[in-house]
Amino acid sequence: MSIHQISVFLENRVGQLAQITKILADHHIDLRALSIAETTDYGILRIIVDDTVKATDILLEQGFILSKTPVLVISVPDAPGGLAQVLALLAEGQLDIEYMYSLFTNQNGNAYMVFRVSDEAKFTALLQSHNIPIATSEELGIH
């Protein structure tokens, strides 16, 4: 089951990230994951929050340009080699990782990784065939 990530396009200038996190905090929206990539002119802030609809509405009202993208969040053992096993499966399955980042949580003694891959259905089938759990929005407190 995919979860929606919000990608916010930011001017590459001091204070942009602070502004967005304050807006979210002021509206009682909790960050679950955050990743930022930059170019010389702009940055792309990728976030997963506890209330995607509310965050999207508020950020749009504030004039930010954004998009929502489905991503998969998977649970991996929080131990040496936990992520390596999943990445080896991706390589064996000939799946490209478009990007990935970790998610903030401390549930079940596992780490959670956010993946955007070239073929979500194939990745889901591969994970299921190896009994690697895909996190649900309920499990992560996302609605």
Q: In the block, which residue shows the tokens 């194939």? A: 122
Domain extent listing, the chain: 3-68, 71-129
Q: What is the pTM of this model?
A: 0.79
Question: What's residue 78's pLDDT?
Answer: 79
Per-residue pLDDT of the chain (143 residues; tens, 9 = 90+): 779 999 999 988 888 889 999 999 999 999 989 998 887 788 999 999 999 999 999 999 999 999 999 999 988 887 889 899 999 999 999 999 999 998 866 566 666 778 888 898 998 999 899 998 888 888 877 77
Q: Tell me whether domains 3-68 and 71-129 share a fold.
A: yes
The CATH topology of domain 3-68 is VC0802-like (3.30.2130)
Question: Which strands, in side-by-side order, build the sheet including 3-11?
Answer: 31-38, 42-49, 3-11, 65-77, 110-117, 97-103
- The superfamily CATH assigns to domain 71-129 is VC0802-like (3.30.2130.10)
Q: How far is CA 99 from CA 72, 115, 129, in A?
A: 11, 6, 22
Q: How far is CA 53 from CA 13, 60, 67, 140, in A?
A: 26, 11, 12, 16
